[in-house]
């Protein structure tokens, strides 16, 4: 008998049941194998007794296939839902399907004998939910209808068909992570998880989360190790928001020992490093990276040789020293960061900062790498990589070289849920919408678990018009933030707005502070002192410039043009210098003295208030080989002693300063000693003269000052609050002093040649050169004389192989030139060489848009040239092979070539200049106009679309590595209205018969 017919027969007999016994039959269905059917015997059963003997049926075995219809209630399952769930169907993400009726699943059935239609006397006799007793029989209540098996009452909106339908979802046709919905006609609907698709949601979607990967300083992409045993190449296009960041790193051993290769931004420059076992090779880009601009870097290695190319510029080459020439890499490659606990790894790279920026292209060994998990077979893992959008650090909010660290949602609360609790009202209010508000403790990593500050969970709460702001007052919070709360609930401190966490954090250098590191702690950081001046921070704030000999002014900007001999006073224990009383030192002062001593005792400086040994005073004394700094403000003396002894017969620098009651003493660059005078007085009052090297009358010194003899030695320099007392031996009153003769500027061994003056600088010196001479020891004759305001320069000779290279200063000051002709050195010599280079290898690149800060709208060359040779380079300025400006000779004609990224312009003079006489050449461009002129001929003009020339700041004159230079004589070379000093060592002057 079929299972459907069996249930019909059972239904006909059940109304006649006299006594009901609650017994169950457990039946186990088996998979539909060909040899298994519904007649397969069951091992155990419980017989059901009926009032009619003919209805007694022996062992019952039934299929559960008929259960694949509307979802049965909990009586059919061991586990069931506690309450009805509402399923929302996403119409944009579902698939229809038809369940296979031949896929039965194991089920347990509990057969209950109570049926609709049973006899009853009241509603309690009807045990079926939603049923009632009417006219002596159990029927479904209004709004409900009975099922075909008469065992349940379903709501009217549920379709009940006369014949049972198969419940398709019972067989779990959809993927485990999706939701199955039964539909009429034994069909079903699969609602797919966002990461899956297909009819049964069993096809995983490898969704692309980003097109251009962005790294936040903690992000990284882990890849398979590089194939770089003999050679490799890396090409990367990136933009950065920080001066330090790891771009790529791969190593041999986990702890950083052994071979490695790295590409990183270190202090604003790109560095390519590798180690084959012979020691690291470090190649550094010639220019700094520009924030927020994309750059292209190419790094190559073949055996021991390495090359780094920055923005398609010139090759930066290097070579590993040693016999090893293979690179062994056994660990995974990391892009963007290198998570490790070994400091040696970061020593290899040169920085421990992760990359902050975007990488839009990466090629390894000429194969493009897709930095996305599942898109490239070599990508093994990605962490915190996102789409390249303008994050909080993109606007460069951090100042003064600070590192910007973006803060994302996962950084808050350290990826943990913040604890929250419900706080209900304790008093009755007319408005009760605040009852049950979820309060959370200080949200995010900015507060610890003990913080008592509160903010609301993300919940919209209506506020009254009157409200105010309250600042988080707990000391446990690392960030200040404001909470808005309804003032009417102020006594309960009910915050009602959500705290907005910070989106970035600035990691300040030691010299700066503030939210964006905008506040300087070091006023000397900007190098305000020029021409070799030294900047010192004053104790009361601000700075002072200590100028070298021959320089004066607030920033050492004034040059003493006279060649005045610098004289140093010498003391023999009984001499002294008398200077005016110190001024402006009542609140604070800073004094620096350069001295030499030949004895372990001697007074160096003294200034007092009274001449009777009383009152305020300051003194610097040498006692038993150590310096003693003493001062008295009227309420107790301060005595500060240097921890280090003073060595004899050598120059020392001692600094003493005072701010209020506190005093500082430092010898050379040693330990700073600190001390305090007695309280409560804080002001220094001085009226007597300032004595150097001794005093006029020893009875005048304070009774608490133990000095008893003068200095045996010399004083080279005295500076008070930034004021330099020049030439002490000549400009001030002296008694029993002599002129010092000794190092570093001895009279008999002047290191400065050609009439130069030696200016002592502690144990070193500087040479102040006479006109027409230059160099460390004034040994270079510049080749021109100053006469009547006109400059006459001797021509120099180029032989085709030699050249001069200059680096443009772009208006920046130089601190290492102390000559009378600094105004001529707008360009300064960078290097000179007789290179014989082969032409750089050519590399093919795609067209790429760059923006650099050294774009120039105009250039001008002016010079005089004499030659008989037809070809050669005269001058070159530009950026590699991409953009450059070249002045050269071709077949005797002067050619001015201007090459841009997408265009090239060349103009040629009308006449030849290789006739052995001097010709005056002018070549210039301004925006889109290019001009060339030889002697007095009519200028030749050409218009071009190129208006901006991007250079690397280097200028080559007479030739360039890899290019044939001119052969001839050049003089009066002017670039952009600045005369170049062509006279340098190893370059010869032209004679009358040289061409």
Backbone angles phi, psi at 971, to 5 degrees: -150, 165
The pLDDT of residue 325 is above 80:
yes
- Give the mean pLDDT of 717-732: 84
The pLDDT of residue 227 is above 80:
yes
The pLDDT of residue 649 is above 50:
yes
Q: What is the pLDDT of residue 390?
A: 66
Both 600 and 623 in one domain: the answer is yes
The pLDDT of residue 42 is above 70:
no
**Would you give the distance in Å from CA 702 to the centre of its chain?**
57
Write down which residue in 719, 736, 768 finishes a domain: 768
Does 994 reside within a domain? no
Question: Tokens 């069993």 correspond to what residue?
Answer: 202
Both 198 and 238 in one domain: the answer is no
Q: What is the pLDDT of residue 157?
A: 54
**Would you give the distance in Å from CA 848 to the centre of its chain?**
24
Both 108 and 8 in one domain: the answer is yes
What's the number of CA atoms in the CB half-sphere (13 Å) around residue 346? 13
Both 163 and 240 in one domain: the answer is no
Both 566 and 461 in one domain: the answer is no
Query: Does residue 979 or residue 712 have the better pLDDT?
Result: 712
Does 804 reside within a domain? no
The 3-state secondary structure of 460-515, one letter per residue: CCCCCCCEEEEECCCCCCCCCCEEEEEHHHHHHCCECCCCCCCCEEEECCCCEECC
Both 868 and 918 in one domain: the answer is yes
Write down which residue in 768, 792, 819 finishes a domain: 768
Pairing of strands 482-486, 467-471: antiparallel
**Tokens representing 656?**
């003493």
CA angle centred on 130, ends 129 and 136, rounded to 5°: 95
Average pLDDT over the chain reads 74
The pLDDT of residue 34 is above 90:
no
**Tokens representing 374?**
């599942």
Q: Is 550 left (phi over 0), alpha (psi -120 to 50) or beta?
A: left
Both 623 and 755 in one domain: the answer is yes
Question: Tokens 């049972």 correspond to what residue?
Answer: 164
- Taking only the tens place, the pLDDT of each residue in 774-826 is 777 887 666 554 334 445 567 888 988 888 887 654 333 323 222 222 222 23
Taking residue 526's Cβ as centre, other Cβ atoms within 10 Å add up to 11
The residues facing 273 across adjacent strands are 262, 282
* Preceding omega of 606 cis (within 30 degrees of 0): no
Pairing of strands 260-266, 269-275: antiparallel
Query: Does residue 394 or residue 317 have the better pLDDT?
Result: 317
Mean pLDDT is lowest, of 394-398, 551-555, 714-718, for 551-555
Does 223 reside within a domain? yes
Torsion angle (degrees, nearest 10) of CA 854, 860, 862, 865: 70
**Tally of residues, the chain:** 995
Backbone angles phi, psi at 365, to 5 degrees: 55, 40
User: Residue 546 — very low, low, confident or very high, per pLDDT cuts 50/70/90?
Assistant: confident
Q: How far apart are CA 326 and CA 307, in angstroms?
A: 16
Query: Does residue 868 or residue 45 have the better pLDDT?
Result: 868
**Tokens representing 448?**
């610890």
User: Residue 319 — very low, low, confident or very high, per pLDDT cuts 50/70/90?
Assistant: very high
The pLDDT of residue 894 is above 90:
yes
Does 360 reside within a domain? yes
- Taking only the tens place, the pLDDT of each residue in 833-887 is 322 222 333 222 222 232 333 456 678 889 999 999 999 999 988 776 677 889 9
Q: How far apart are CA 313 and CA 471, in angstroms?
A: 53
Does 824 reside within a domain? no
Mean pLDDT is lowest, of 19-28, 592-601, 643-652, 973-982, for 19-28
Backbone angles phi, psi at 170, to 5 degrees: -60, -30
- Give the mean pLDDT of 620-636: 94
User: Residue 599 — very low, low, confident or very high, per pLDDT cuts 50/70/90?
Assistant: very high
The pLDDT > 70 percentage for the chain reads 68
The pLDDT of residue 8 is above 90:
no
Q: What is the pLDDT of residue 195?
A: 76
- Give the mean pLDDT of 47-59: 41
Q: How far apart are CA 729 and CA 564, in angstroms?
A: 13
Does 816 reside within a domain? no
Give the residue numbers spanning the domain of 120.
1-167+183-205
Mean pLDDT is lowest, of 51-60, 305-314, 389-398, 638-647, for 51-60
User: Residue 338 — very low, low, confident or very high, per pLDDT cuts 50/70/90?
Assistant: very high
User: Residue 415 — very low, low, confident or very high, per pLDDT cuts 50/70/90?
Assistant: very low
Q: Rounded to whole angstroms, what are the CA distances from 977 to 243, 501, 528, 589, 922?
A: 35, 54, 27, 45, 12
Both 222 and 194 in one domain: the answer is no
Both 749 and 885 in one domain: the answer is no
Both 885 and 752 in one domain: the answer is no
Radius of gyration of the chain (CA): 46
Q: What is the pLDDT of residue 947?
A: 58
CATH of the domain at 579: 2.60.120.200
The pLDDT of residue 289 is above 90:
yes
Both 288 and 155 in one domain: the answer is no
The pLDDT of residue 492 is above 70:
no
Q: What is the pLDDT of residue 382?
A: 94
Both 139 and 50 in one domain: the answer is yes
Q: Is 162 left (phi over 0), alpha (psi -120 to 50) or beta?
A: alpha
Burial class of residue 879 (count of CB atoms within 10 Å of its CB; 0-12, 13-18, 19+): buried
Q: What is the pLDDT of residue 550?
A: 66
SS3 label, residue 413 = helix
Residues 6+ apart with CB under 8 A from 719: 544, 546, 591, 592, 593, 725
- Give the mean pLDDT of 299-315: 93
Q: CA nearest 972: which of 773, 794, 808, 774?
A: 794
The pLDDT of residue 965 is above 60:
yes
- Give the mean pLDDT of 353-367: 94
**Would you give the distance in Å from CA 38 to the centre of its chain?**
73
Q: CA nearest 982: which of 804, 861, 754?
A: 804
Residues 6+ apart with CB under 8 A from 367: none
Q: What is the pLDDT of residue 941?
A: 85
CB 909 within 8 A of CB 940: yes
- Give the mean pLDDT of 193-202: 83
Pairing of strands 295-302, 280-288: unpaired
The pLDDT of residue 358 is above 70:
yes
The pLDDT of residue 163 is above 60:
no
Does 931 reside within a domain? yes
Does 508 reside within a domain? no
Residues 6+ apart with CB under 8 A from 119: 15, 125, 136, 137
**Would you give the distance in Å from CA 460 to the centre of its chain?**
37
Q: pTM for the full model?
A: 0.41
Q: How far apart are CA 261 and CA 276, in angstroms?
A: 9
**Would you give the distance in Å from CA 385 to the centre of its chain?**
16
Q: How far apart are CA 477 and CA 442, in angstroms?
A: 8
**Tokens representing 900?**
């841009």
Burial class of residue 398 (count of CB atoms within 10 Å of its CB; 0-12, 13-18, 19+): buried
Q: How far apart are CA 538 and CA 587, in angstroms?
A: 12
Q: What is the pLDDT of residue 864?
A: 92
Alpha helices in 713-805 (DSSP H): 728-731
**Tokens representing 472?**
């988080």
Number of structural domains in the chain? 5
């Amino acid at each position: 008998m079929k299972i459907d017919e069996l249930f019909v027969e059972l239904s006909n007999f059940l109304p006649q049941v006299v006594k009901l016994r609650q017994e169950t039959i457990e039946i186990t269905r088996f998979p539909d194998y060909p040899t298994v059917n519904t007649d397969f015997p069951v091992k155990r059963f419980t017989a059901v007794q009926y009032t009619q003997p003919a209805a007694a049926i022996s062992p019952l075995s039934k299929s559960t296939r008929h259960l694949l219809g509307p979802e049965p209630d909990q009586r059919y399952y061991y586990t069931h839902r506690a309450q009805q769930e509402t399923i929302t169907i996403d119409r944009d993400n579902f698939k229809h399907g038809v369940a296979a009726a031949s896929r039965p699943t194991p089920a347990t059935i509990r057969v209950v004998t109570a049926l609709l239609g049973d006899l009853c006397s009241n509603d309690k006799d009807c045990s079926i939910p939603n049923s009632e007793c009417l006219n002596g029989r159990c029927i479904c209540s209004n709004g409900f209808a009975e099922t075909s098996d008469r065992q349940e009452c379903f709501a009217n909106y549920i379709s009940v068909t006369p014949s049972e339908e198969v419940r398709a979802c019972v067989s779990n046709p959809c993927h485990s992570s999706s939701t199955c919905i039964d539909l009429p006609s034994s069909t079903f609907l699969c609602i797919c998880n966002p990461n899956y698709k297909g009819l049964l949601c069993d096809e995983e979607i490898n969704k692309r989360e980003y097109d251009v990967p962005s790294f936040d300083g903690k992000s990284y992409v882990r890849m398979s190790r590089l194939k770089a045993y003999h050679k490799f190449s890396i090409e990367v296009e990136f933009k950065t928001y920080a001066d330090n960041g790891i771009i790529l790193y791969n190593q041999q051993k986990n702890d950083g020992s052994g071979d490695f290769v790295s590409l990183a931004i270190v202090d604003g420059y790109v560095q390519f490093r590798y180690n084959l076992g012979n020691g690291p090779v470090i190649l550094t880009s010639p220019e700094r990276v520009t924030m927020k601009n994309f750059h292209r870097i190419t790094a190559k290695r073949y055996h021991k040789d390495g090359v780094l190319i920055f923005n398609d510029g010139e090759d930066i080459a290097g070579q590993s020293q040693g016999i090893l020439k293979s690179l062994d890499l056994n660990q995974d490659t990391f892009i963007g960061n290198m998570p490790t606990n070994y400091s040696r790894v970061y020593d290899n790279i040169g920085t421990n900062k992760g990359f902050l920026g975007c990488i839009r292209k990466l090629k390894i060994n000429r194969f493009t790498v897709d930095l996305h998990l599942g898109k490239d077979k070599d990508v093994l893992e990605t962490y915190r990589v996102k789409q390249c959008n303008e994050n909080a650090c993109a606007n460069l909010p951090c100042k003064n070289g600070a590192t910007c660290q973006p803060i994302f949602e996962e950084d808050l609360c350290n990826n943990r849920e913040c604890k929250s609790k419900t706080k209900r009202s304790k008093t009755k209010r007319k408005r009760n919408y605040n009852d049950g508000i979820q309060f959370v403790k200080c949200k995010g990593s900015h507060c610890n678990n003990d913080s008592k500050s509160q903010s609301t969970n993300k919940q919209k709460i209506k506020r009254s018009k009157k409200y105010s702001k309250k600042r988080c007052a707990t000391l446990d919070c690392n960030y200040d933030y404001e909470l808005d709360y309804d003032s009417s609930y102020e006594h309960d401190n009910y915050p009602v707005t959500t705290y907005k966490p910070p989106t970035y954090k600035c990691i300040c250098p030691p010299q700066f502070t503030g939210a964006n590191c905008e506040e300087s702690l070091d006023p000397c950081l900007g190098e305000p002192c020029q021409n070799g001046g030294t900047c010192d921070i004053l104790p009361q704030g601000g700075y002072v410039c200590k100028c070298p000999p021959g320089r004066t002014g607030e920033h050492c900007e004034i040059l003493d043009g006279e060649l005045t001999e610098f004289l140093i006073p010498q003391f023999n224990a009984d001499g002294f210098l008398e200077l005016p009383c110190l001024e402006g030192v009542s609140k604070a002062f800073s004094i620096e003295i350069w001295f030499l001593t030949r004895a372990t005792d001697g007074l160096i400086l003294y200034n007092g208030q009274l001449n009777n040994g009383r009152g305020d005073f300051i003194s610097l004394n040498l006692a038993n080989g150590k310096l003693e700094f003493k001062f008295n403000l009227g309420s107790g003396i301060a005595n500060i002693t240097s921890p280090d002894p003073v060595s004899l017969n050598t120059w020392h620098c001692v600094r003493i300063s005072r701010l209020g009651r506190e005093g500082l003493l430092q010898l050379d660059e040693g330990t700073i000693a600190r001390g305090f005078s007695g309280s409560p007085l804080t002001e220094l009052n001085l009226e007597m003269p300032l004595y150097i090297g001794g005093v006029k009358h020893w009875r005048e010194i304070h009774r608490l000052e133990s000095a008893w003899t003068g200095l045996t030695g010399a004083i080279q320099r005295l500076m008070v609050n930034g004021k330099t007392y020049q030439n002490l031996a000549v400009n001030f009153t002296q008694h029993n002093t002599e002129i010092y003769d000794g190092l570093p500027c001895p009279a008999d061994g002047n290191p400065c040649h050609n009439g130069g003056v030696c200016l002592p600088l502690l144990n070193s010196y500087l040479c102040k050169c006479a006109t027409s001479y230059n160099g460390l020891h004034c040994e270079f004759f510049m080749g021109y004389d100053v006469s009547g305001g006109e400059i006459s320069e001797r021509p120099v000779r180029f032989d085709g192989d030699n050249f001069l290279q200059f680096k443009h200063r772009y208006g920046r000051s130089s601190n290492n030139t102390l000559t009378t002709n600094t105004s001529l050195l707008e360009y300064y010599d960078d290097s000179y060489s007789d290179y014989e280079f082969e032409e750089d290898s050519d590399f093919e690149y795609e067209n790429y848009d760059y923006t650099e800060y050294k774009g120039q709208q105009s250039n001008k060359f002016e010079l005089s040239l004499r030659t008989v040779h037809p070809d050669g380079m005269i001058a070159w300025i530009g950026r590699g092979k991409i953009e450059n400006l070249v002045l050269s000779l071709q077949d005797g004609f002067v050619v001015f070539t201007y090459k841009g990224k997408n265009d090239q312009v060349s103009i040629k003079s009308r006449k030849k200049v290789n006739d052995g006489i001097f010709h005056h050449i002018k070549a210039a461009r301004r925006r889109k106009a290019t001009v060339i002129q030889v002697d007095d001929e009519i200028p030749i003009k050409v218009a071009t679309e190129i208006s901006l020339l991007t250079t690397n700041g280097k200028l080559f004159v007479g030739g360039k590595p890899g290019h044939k230079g001119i052969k001839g004589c050049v003089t009066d070379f002017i670039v952009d209205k600045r005369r170049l000093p062509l006279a340098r060592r190893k370059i010869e002057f032209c004679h009358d018969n040289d061409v």
